[in-house]
Structure 1
Amino acid sequence: MFIQMIQGPCTRQDEAHQLLDEWRRDLAPGATGWLGGTYGFTDDNQLVGVVRFESRELAMANSDRSEQGEWAAKMAEVMDGPMEFHDCDDVSLMMDGGSDDAGFVQIIRGRVDDPSRLKAMMADTTMLHEARPDILGATLAIEADGSFVETIAFTSEAEARKGEQVEPPEDVRSELEYAMKGATYYDLHHPWFESA
C-alpha cells in the first residue's frame, strides 16, 4: 500500500468538500489502484487528506492524468495557500486499518530515528485493544527519512478523550513518549471517508 498525506490552509471548506466529492464521483472510477481516503478540517482551517493507493506507481499514474491536473488546479483555487504532500511507501495497518464508521479521526505527524521500533510498537495491538476499545483501527505510513503519518480512527471524540485518561503500562508509555516526541496532532472532528 502507498499513502499520500495532503494538507493545506482552507477557509472555503464547503467548496473544497464539494470538489473532493466531485473527484470521487467523476475521477475515482478512472483512478486505477485508488483504495480510498480520509478527509477533514482542523479547528485552525487546515484541510487534511490521507489517500490510499495500491502502489506509488499507480498513484503517480493517476497524478499524470490530464483530468487530474485540471481538477487539482480547481482545488488549488479554493485553498488559502500551497498544499503539502507527504508520500509514504512503508505502510502498516493496525487492527485492519482505519474505519469508515469512525466518529473522530486524529492524524499524527512526527519523525523517529528508528522506524522499526515504531512499527514494532504498532504491531502489538492486543493489550491496546483491550485498554482502548474506542480505537477502531489505524494506519502508519513512514517516509524514507523516518517522518511518519499515523491516522487513528475512534468511535467518537468523547470516547477518545476518555480513553486518553487511561494510564498505559510503563513500557508502553516510554515507547509512546519516544514515538510522539515533537509530533503534531490534527483533530478531525467531522471526518468523512471515501472508498473504492
Structure 2
Amino acid sequence: MFIQIIQGRCTRQDEMHALADEWRERLSPGADGWLGGTYGFTDDGQFVGVVRFEDRAAAEANSQRPEQGAWAERMASLFDGPVEFHDSDDVTLLFDGGSDEAGFVQVIRGKVDDPSRLRAMMTDAQLLHEMRPDILGATLAIEPDGTYTETVAFRDEESARKGETVMPPEEVRAELEYAMRGARFYDLRHPWFESAHH
C-alpha cells in the first residue's frame, strides 16, 4: 500500500470539503488503484488528508492525469499558506486499517531512528486490542528517514480519551514513550472518509 499525507492550514473548510466530494464523484472513477482516504480539520484550522493507493505507481499515474493536475491547483488555492506532502510505501495496518464508521480520528506525526521497533509494536494486534479496545483500526506510514504518520480511528472521542487514561504494562510503556517522543497529535473531531468500495 502507498499513503500520501496532505497537510496545511485551511480556513475555507466548507469549500475544501466540497472539493474533496467533487473529486470522489468526478475523478475517482478514473483513478486506478485508489483505495480511499481519511480527511478532517483540527480545532486550530489544520487540514489533514491521508489518501491510500494500492502502490506508488498507481498514485503517480493518478497525479499525472491532466484533470487531477487541474483539481490539485484548485485545492492548493484553498490553503492559507504552504502545504506539506508526505509519501510512504512502508505501510502497516492494524485491524484492517481503520473504519469509515469512526467518529473521531487522531493523526500522530513523529520520527524514530528504528522504524522496525515502531512497526513491531503496531503489529502486536492482540496486545493493542486488549490494552485499547476503543481503537477501531489504524494505519502507520513510515518514510525513509524514520518520520511516521499514524492515523488512528475511534468510535468517538469520549472512548478515546477514556482509553488514554489506561496505564499500559511496563514494557509497552517504554515502547510508547520511545515512539511518541516529540510527536505531534492532530485531533480530527469531524472526520470524513472516502472509499473506493462505496
TM-score w.r.t. the length of structure 1 is 0.99
Aligned residues with identical type, % of pairs = 72
Tell me the alpha carbon deviations over residues 72-113 of structure 1, each in whole angstroms, 9 at most, x when there is no partner.
111112111121100001000011111101110000011100
Tell me the alpha carbon deviations over residues 5-55 of structure 1, each in whole angstroms, 9 at most, x when there is no partner.
000110000000000000000000000100000000001101100000001
Question: In the alignment, what sits opposite 1:62?
Answer: 62
Q: Distance in 1 between matches of 2:109 and 2:65?
A: 29
Question: In the alignment, what sits opposite 2:147?
Answer: 147
Moved segments of 4+, more than 6 Å: none
Aligned residues: 196
Q: Distance in 2 between matches of 1:20 and 1:159?
A: 28
Q: Distance in 1 between matches of 2:53 and 2:135?
A: 23
Question: In the alignment, what sits opposite 1:167?
Answer: 167
Farther-moved stretch of structure 1 (119-128 vs 12-21): 119-128
Q: Name the amino acid aligned to 1:61.
A: A
* 1:14-163 paired onto structure 2 within 5 Å: 14-163=14-163
Q: Distance in 2 between matches of 1:77 and 1:146?
A: 30
Give 3-state SS (helix, strand or coil) of 2:97's partner: coil
Question: In the alignment, what sits opposite 1:194?
Answer: 194
Tell me the alpha carbon deviations over residues 121-173 of structure 1, each in whole angstroms, 9 at most, x when there is no partner.
11112122122111000000000111101000011100000010000000000
Q: Name the amino acid aligned to 1:27.
A: L
Q: Distance in 1 between matches of 2:34 and 2:123?
A: 25
Unpaired runs of 5+ residues, structure 2, are none
Q: Name the amino acid aligned to 2:34.
A: W
Q: Name the amino acid aligned to 2:133.
A: P
Q: Distance in 1 between matches of 2:93 and 2:131?
A: 19
Q: Distance in 2 between matches of 1:139 and 1:47?
A: 18
Q: Distance in 2 between matches of 1:127 and 1:54?
A: 28
Unpaired runs of 5+ residues, structure 1, are none
Q: Name the amino acid aligned to 2:45.
A: N
Give 3-state SS (helix, strand or coil) of 1:44's partner: coil
Q: Name the amino acid aligned to 1:143.
A: E
Q: Distance in 2 between matches of 1:188 and 1:17?
A: 13
Deviation at 1:174, TM superposition (A): 0.3
